[in-house]
Structure 1
């Protein structure tokens, strides 16, 4: 029991450290000279990190993957960026996609609710849910790509940031192996879902 509690505590501390790191990154870059961030890896990296709607959804994907366990812990965090890249192409080409901001907000609401309610659908269903929402996130990134001085570095930046946010969610989500940790993760799902409601209200 002590070992379990220690592992849960460690997972929570790692998650808290990750969230603090993201917060400080947001604070530091929000005041940076726009020219410094213009169009390269840094811009791409900070695009998802500076948007709390993106952060909530991407962390949620990692959390849900860890919650579902087995293949889902790596399948969902792979499906999301792959489909997100396709969405990015749509944004780059200027293909009309309605309700992008609403879709991003709904991703936090739905995936957060899945975590909060301990939903365990078949892996293919979970992958479809995650992939569908990834299109909206990718579109938002891709729509800004024409403004990038270096599109390749910009793309690499937001893909790396997405991966790190997924990893952060997975690290915290590993706590579901223990009853106390599972309650904490489900509580985070509630918070993510409520944050999504706030994002949706702002988008409407």
Structure 2
């Protein structure tokens, strides 16, 4: 893939990189599997984090590191269950935005961290994102279908990030992932500063 095509893909993706009001949180529909499926797709902060995890699973590897998406999804479920049961993580919204800075930074700076450190970062990010989902849900049977929906959407976004990273030829992959990571980290940083 040429540098021109990489630039075109980043330009097409740029609208989702612009900070806006986070949709990931109270005040939206939380009823049923369809609402759960749609939520991560339309919540820009969740979308960027989940795509970043899929991209991290590819970066610089001959085989995908599926431990990262699995850690994110597993701890997202833990965070959601904590939230449903009234255990909210302090400053969860700020933590979610900071997770973009961390995940984007890991992409931007390449494989500076060991696999276990990256998996831990993915797990903590998933915990925060799941907790934000959980604290907005009532502890009833309807919550389970919503959780199933956002978990399926999360897996799909991890796969999308993986496929996006894989679509670049080896020649351009490292640069594309670093530029994408810098954009994700920058978006998170701007959002953190804007929320302060």
On whether the aligned pair clears a TM of 0.5, the verdict is yes
Tell me the secondary structure at the aligned position of residue 119 of structure 1: coil
Match of 2:132 in 1: 140
| Contact 1:47–1:141 (8 Å) recurs in 2 | no
More deviation, 59-68/83-92: 59-68
Q: Provide the C-alpha distance between the structure 1 equivalents of 2:47 and 2:123, rounded to a whole number of angstroms.
A: 16
Matches within 5 A, 1:71-110: 72-110=64-102
Match of 2:172 in 1: 180
The answer as to 2:192 corresponding to 1:200 is yes
Tell me the secondary structure at the aligned position of residue 113 of structure 2: coil
Aligned counterpart in structure 2 of residue 46 of structure 1, from 38, 51, 54:
38
Structure whose residues are more often helix by fraction: 1
* Structure 2: gaps spanning 5 or more residues: 17-22
Question: How far 1:179 moved relative to its partner?
Answer: 2.2
The answer as to 2:96 corresponding to 1:114 is no
Q: Provide the C-alpha distance between the structure 2 equivalents of 1:147 and 1:95, rounded to a whole number of angstroms.
A: 12
Q: Provide the C-alpha distance between the structure 2 equivalents of 1:119 and 1:71, rounded to a whole number of angstroms.
A: 14
Q: 1:82/1:159 Cα in 2 relative to 1: closer, same or farther (>3 Å)?
A: same
Aligned counterpart in structure 2 of residue 170 of structure 1, from 137, 142, 162:
162
Q: Provide the C-alpha distance between the structure 1 equivalents of 2:189 and 2:166, rounded to a whole number of angstroms.
A: 26
Matches within 5 A, 1:2-41: 5=1, 37=29, 39-41=31-33
Q: 1:141/1:96 Cα in 2 relative to 1: closer, same or farther (>3 Å)?
A: closer
* Structure 1: gaps spanning 5 or more residues: 24-29
TM superposition score normalised by structure 1? 0.78
Match of 1:26 in 2: none
Between the two proteins, the alignment pairs up a number of residues equal to 185
Q: 1:151/1:16 Cα in 2 relative to 1: closer, same or farther (>3 Å)?
A: farther
